[in-house]
């Protein structure tokens, strides 16, 4: 059965499973099932499908690939039971039997080889499940009695299971005369071409291997289980058996090694199979390795993760509020400066890697973006204000979904790129396309063991079994980052995947699972006589924002401690708060009376606040109290400001207004900035925003494409394939040509088809001028366009009338 016909014979449910597991096959949707089969056999599509296979399923596929070559056939029919595989002498004797290639590969032959390679257990039911899975992915087709690789799979696998190429391929670049001489040496008296005689001799290599020295045999042992290639100088030299002295010469002369290049050799597959006792793999496991780690109480892990989720949301909120007041600059090369990251980590009271994670997630979620002046600043976006007023569970869900699916890798911050340049936070070079897949795979491992905090090594081993073709240093590094970040974001708790983390991974409603576990916000603080306030729990969003403005955070933990000081009170006054408003807010939200010391502090700062006004001259200082200006001009610390007295109540300066305000505050005064109209400029933090647009965050289905998308794609494929198979040319049309005719006849034919509601066959020129044909069901014609249902593509399209070359009936 041909592969295309096998694809056509699949049910709609099986086709939906195929395109869901391999979404690249319908991006875009092929015109018909024949196109789907062709795309499924492309190297890139096969490579992606192979990358998704676990170690056992990949081993089954590799075994099938080897069985389809003559090299392994003589062992396959005799390895029906494990007893026939275990003894080394018996297996070698089987490998010396004549080469007879079967017409097809049976499941029994697969069971024999796979069963012999298992380190423990039996091949069933895992083998049947693996074959069914390979069929679902269209990597294998046919019944159990006649299994075959899909087109293109063998080429992508290249050297399956670390075996070298068959002898016929390994020696294809050798001259016929050289092959004849080698065949005369190792198979005298045989007939046929040199390549055929050499391949027949290597199908029974036992005697040849026994002839070589122990050193040569050791070289073979090194290549037995892969890789089956090596490098030797002058590999293409001609060596005869009689003159071979060195170990490599002995192997080359007997064909036990094949020169594949000037300095490269390969172990022929027949020889490798003999050395492997006729097996394709060894130490194979049909089930994934068990996870090792510490058992945790799941409810405790859920509560711990929920607490960290709440903390992460508040950390992101604090980051945006601080950057709204003091935004860091954008580096000329893009990204966030090292010093700014260190300062942010100190202010947020988190390690630098956690600060980088917070910054990256906030940026990926569209909460911060580059904006501001010409040089650029990192500012909160208008989307942050919308995010801030949402419930905490919804806010965390938005951040967690962004973290799971972003291709940016915060863990790389601080490392260096290929040019030895540092990688800064928010730098464009932090993107890694494999990062989302690694995060999902790592969380999938945790999801398979509820209540267990697995060790890092066991997670690595499980991922290596689940996706062996994707192993590598970068993948292990990304896995470490994923596990560490999952704990920081609140997806895991105590190393265990939480309930809301499981909902996040499966695409369910995360917020509804998390909400009952979050601590209930409190709307009051406890004011102390030492100018501190203690928050007995997480404050409401608005109260937390106000406290952060009017006081400085002194310590965090189960209860956050805030300290009021002259600077923090002045900050609140700069934001437009008055002394009476501050005291009223404290009285309303304090469970204890407002201490007298705090009332005096607020009154004293408010009394001095705004007496000095700073405007733009370059800058000027204005004050109704000349004595206060005399004090400023006499202060030695003001010498750098280059002040000049213009009037008893006005001083001019060459400094900017912002620099003058900062300098006076550093000297202990409480100035405020004023506009050209003399009005006080209030520092409204909400105004420091940029218009950065949040990225589109489409959440893919955990099982591949959305069910509605796959169903629509299969319907389009069926309709297109039916049109492709039933399309036939009218009797009056020349064979192999598309319909052509006068424009007036074309318009009349289309109008008649619309009136009768029948299908027509048209010729159409695409945008490149190429002639194509379509089967349409016309609906209406207006404005120079024909609107019709295109059966070839199973969709409604508009066709330009001037591009239609002709119309023919399908009756």
Residues 6+ apart with CB under 8 A from 769: none
Lowest mean pLDDT among 229-243, 356-370, 626-640, 707-721: 229-243
pLDDT at 132 over 90: yes
d(CA 638, CA 662): 12
**Model pLDDT, residue 466:** 93
Lowest mean pLDDT among 369-373, 582-586, 589-593, 603-607: 369-373
How does pLDDT run across 733-757, given as a tens digit for each residue?
444 567 888 888 888 889 888 888 8
Tokens encoding 371: 């904006």
Region 598-620: mean pLDDT is 81
Region 271-297: mean pLDDT is 91
Q: How far is CA 527 from the centre of its chain?
A: 48
Dihedral sign (CA 333, 339, 343, 349)? positive
Region 531-553: mean pLDDT is 86
Cβ 228 vs Cβ 271: under 8 Å: no
pLDDT at 679 over 80: no
Lowest mean pLDDT among 130-144, 303-317, 558-572, 650-664: 650-664
pLDDT at 249 over 70: yes
pLDDT category at 372 given cuts 50, 70, 90 is: low
pLDDT at 544 over 50: yes
pLDDT at 255 over 60: yes
Residues 6+ apart with CB under 8 A from 40: 7, 18, 22, 25, 46, 138, 150
pLDDT category at 772 given cuts 50, 70, 90 is: confident
d(CA 491, CA 186): 65
pLDDT category at 440 given cuts 50, 70, 90 is: very high
**Model pLDDT, residue 71:** 44
**Model pLDDT, residue 237:** 66
Tokens encoding 275: 């050395």
d(CA 430, CA 456): 24
pLDDT category at 218 given cuts 50, 70, 90 is: very high
Tokens encoding 192: 């046929």
Region 654-676: mean pLDDT is 81
Lowest mean pLDDT among 53-67, 398-412, 630-644: 630-644
pLDDT at 22 over 90: yes
How many C-beta neighbours within 10 Å does residue 766 have?
Answer: 9
The whole-chain average pLDDT of the chain stands at: 84
pLDDT category at 663 given cuts 50, 70, 90 is: confident
**Model pLDDT, residue 793:** 66
pLDDT category at 459 given cuts 50, 70, 90 is: very high
pLDDT category at 617 given cuts 50, 70, 90 is: low
Lowest mean pLDDT among 199-208, 378-387, 414-423, 616-625: 616-625
CA 348, 501, 342 angle in degrees (round to 5)?
20
- Collapse the DSSP code of 462 into the 3-class scheme (helix H, G, I; strand E, B; otherwise coil) and give the result: helix
**Model pLDDT, residue 92:** 37
pLDDT category at 704 given cuts 50, 70, 90 is: low
d(CA 757, CA 339): 72
3-state helix/strand/coil string of 780-791:
EEECCEEEEEEC
Tokens encoding 244: 């071979």
- In terms of average pLDDT, the best of 52-61, 223-232, 617-626, 652-661 is 52-61
Lowest mean pLDDT among 176-185, 197-206, 669-678: 669-678
**Model pLDDT, residue 751:** 87
d(CA 529, CA 603): 16
pLDDT at 526 over 80: yes
**Model pLDDT, residue 99:** 38
How does pLDDT run across 302-349, given as a tens digit for each residue?
999 999 999 999 999 999 988 988 889 998 878 899 999 999 999 998
pLDDT at 74 over 70: no
Query: 790 - beta bridge partners?
Result: 776, 795
Q: How buried is 788 (Cβ within 10 angstroms: 0-12 exposed, 13-18 middle, 19+ buried)?
A: buried
Region 526-552: mean pLDDT is 87
How does pLDDT run across 80-108, given as a tens digit for each residue?
333 333 333 333 333 333 333 334 689 99
- Using a cut of 0.75, tell me whether the model's pTM lies above it: no
Residues 6+ apart with CB under 8 A from 677: none
Lowest mean pLDDT among 119-133, 432-446, 538-552: 538-552
Residues 6+ apart with CB under 8 A from 798: 785, 786, 787
Per-residue CA distances from 99 to 96, 105, 116, 194, 202 (Å): 9, 15, 21, 17, 10
% of the chain surpassing 70 pLDDT: 88
% of the chain surpassing 90 pLDDT: 35
d(CA 71, CA 165): 10
Cβ 747 vs Cβ 785: under 8 Å: no
For 751, what's the count of Cα atoms within 13 Å in the CB-facing half-sphere?
8
Nearest to residue 809, comparing CAs of 726, 724, 743, 729? Answer: 729
């Amino acid at each position: 059965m041909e592969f295309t016909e096998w694809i056509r014979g699949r049910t709609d449910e099986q086709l939906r499973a195929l395109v869901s597991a391999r979404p690249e096959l319908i991006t875009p949707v092929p015109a018909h099932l024949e196109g789907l089969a062709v795309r499924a056999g492309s190297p890139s599509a096969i490579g992606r499908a192979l990358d998704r296979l676990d170690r056992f399923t990949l081993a089954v596929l590799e075994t099938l690939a080897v069985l389809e070559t003559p090299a392994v056939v003589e062992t396959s029919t005799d390895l029906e039971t494990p007893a026939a595989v275990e003894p080394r002498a018996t297996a070698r004797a089987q490998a010396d039997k004549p080469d007879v290639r079967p017409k097809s590969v049976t499941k029994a032959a697969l069971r024999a080889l796979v069963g012999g390679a298992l380190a423990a257990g039996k091949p069933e039911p895992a083998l049947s499940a693996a074959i069914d899975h390979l069929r679902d992915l269209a990597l294998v087709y046919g019944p159990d009695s006649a299994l075959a690789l899909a087109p293109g799979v063998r080429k992508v696998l290249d050297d399956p299971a670390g075996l070298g190429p068959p002898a016929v391929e390994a020696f294809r670049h050798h001259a016929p005369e050289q092959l004849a001489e080698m065949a005369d040496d190792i198979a005298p008296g045989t007939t046929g071409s040199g390549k055929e005689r050499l391949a027949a001799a290597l199908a029974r290599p036992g005697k040849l291997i026994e002839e070589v020295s122990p050193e040569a045999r050791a070289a073979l042992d090194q290549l037995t289980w892969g890789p089956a290639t090596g490098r030797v100088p002058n590999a293409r030299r001609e060596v005869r058996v009689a003159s071979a002295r060195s170990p490599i010469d002995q192997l080359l002369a007997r064909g036990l090694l094949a020169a594949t290049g000037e300095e490269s050799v390969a172990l022929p597959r027949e020889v490798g199979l003999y050395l492997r006792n006729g097996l394709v793999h060894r130490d194979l496991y049909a089930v994934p390795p068990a996870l090792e780690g510490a058992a945790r109480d799941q409810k405790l892990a859920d509560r711990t993760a929920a607490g960290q989720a709440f903390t992460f949301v508040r950390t992101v909120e604090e980051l945006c509020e601080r950057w709204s007041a003091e935004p860091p600059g954008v580096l000329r090369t893009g990204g966030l400066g090292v010093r700014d990251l260190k300062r942010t980590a100190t202010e947020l009271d988190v390690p630098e890697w956690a600060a980088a994670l917070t910054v990256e997630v906030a940026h990926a979620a569209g909460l911060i973006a580059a904006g501001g002046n010409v040089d650029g600043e990192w500012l909160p976006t208008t989307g942050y204000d919308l995010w801030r007023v949402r419930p905490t569970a919804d806010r965390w869900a938005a951040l967690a979904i962004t973290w799971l699916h972003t291709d940016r890798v915060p863990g790389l911050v601080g490392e260096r790129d290929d040019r030895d340049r540092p990688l800064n936070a928010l730098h464009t070079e932090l993107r890694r396309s494999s990062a989302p897949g690694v995060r999902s795979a790592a969380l999938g491992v945790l999801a398979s063991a509820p209540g267990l905090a697995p060790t890092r090594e066991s997670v690595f081993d499980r991922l290596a079994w689940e996706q062996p073709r994707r192993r590598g240093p970068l993948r292990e590094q990304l896995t470490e980052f994923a596990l560490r970040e999952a704990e920081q974001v609140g997806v895991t708790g105590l190393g265990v995947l939480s309930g809301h983390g499981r909902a996040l991974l499966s695409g369910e409603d995360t917020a509804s699972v998390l909400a009952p576990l979050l601590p209930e916000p409190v709307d009051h603080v406890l004011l102390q006589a030492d100018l501190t306030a203690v928050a007995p729990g997480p404050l409401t969003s608005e109260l937390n924002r106000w406290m952060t403005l009017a006081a400085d955070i002194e310590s965090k933990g189960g209860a956050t401690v805030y300290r009021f000081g002259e600077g923090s009170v002045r900050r609140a006054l700069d934001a437009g708060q008055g002394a009476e408003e501050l005291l009223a807010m404290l009285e309303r939200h304090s469970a204890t009376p407002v201490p007298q010391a705090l009332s005096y502090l607020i009154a004293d700062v408010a009394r001095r606040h705004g007496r000095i006004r700073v405007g733009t001259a370059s800058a000027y200082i204005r004050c109704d109290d000349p004595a206060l200006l005399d004090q400023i001009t006499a202060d030695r610390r003001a010498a750098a400001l280059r002040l000049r007295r213009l009037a008893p109540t006005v001083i001019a300066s060459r400094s900017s207004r912002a620099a003058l305000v900062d300098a006076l505050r550093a000297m202990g005064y409480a100035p405020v900035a004023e506009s050209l109209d003399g009005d006080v400029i209030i520092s409204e933090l909400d105004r420091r925003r940029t218009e950065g647009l949040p990225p589109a965050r489409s959440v893919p289905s955990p099982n591949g494409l959305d069910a509605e998308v796959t169903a629509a794609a299969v319907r389009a494929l069926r309709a297109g394939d039916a049109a492709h198979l039933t399309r036939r040319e009218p009797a009056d049309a020349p064979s192999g040509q598309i319909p052509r005719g006068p424009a007036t006849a074309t318009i009349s034919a289309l109008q008649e088809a619309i009136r009768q509601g029948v299908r027509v066959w048209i010729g159409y020129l695409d945008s490149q001028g190429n002639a194509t044909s379509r089967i349409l069901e016309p609906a209406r014609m207006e404005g120079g366009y024909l609107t019709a249902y295109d059966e070839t593509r199973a969709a409604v399209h508009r066709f330009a009338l001037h591009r239609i070359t002709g119309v023919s009936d399908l009756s």
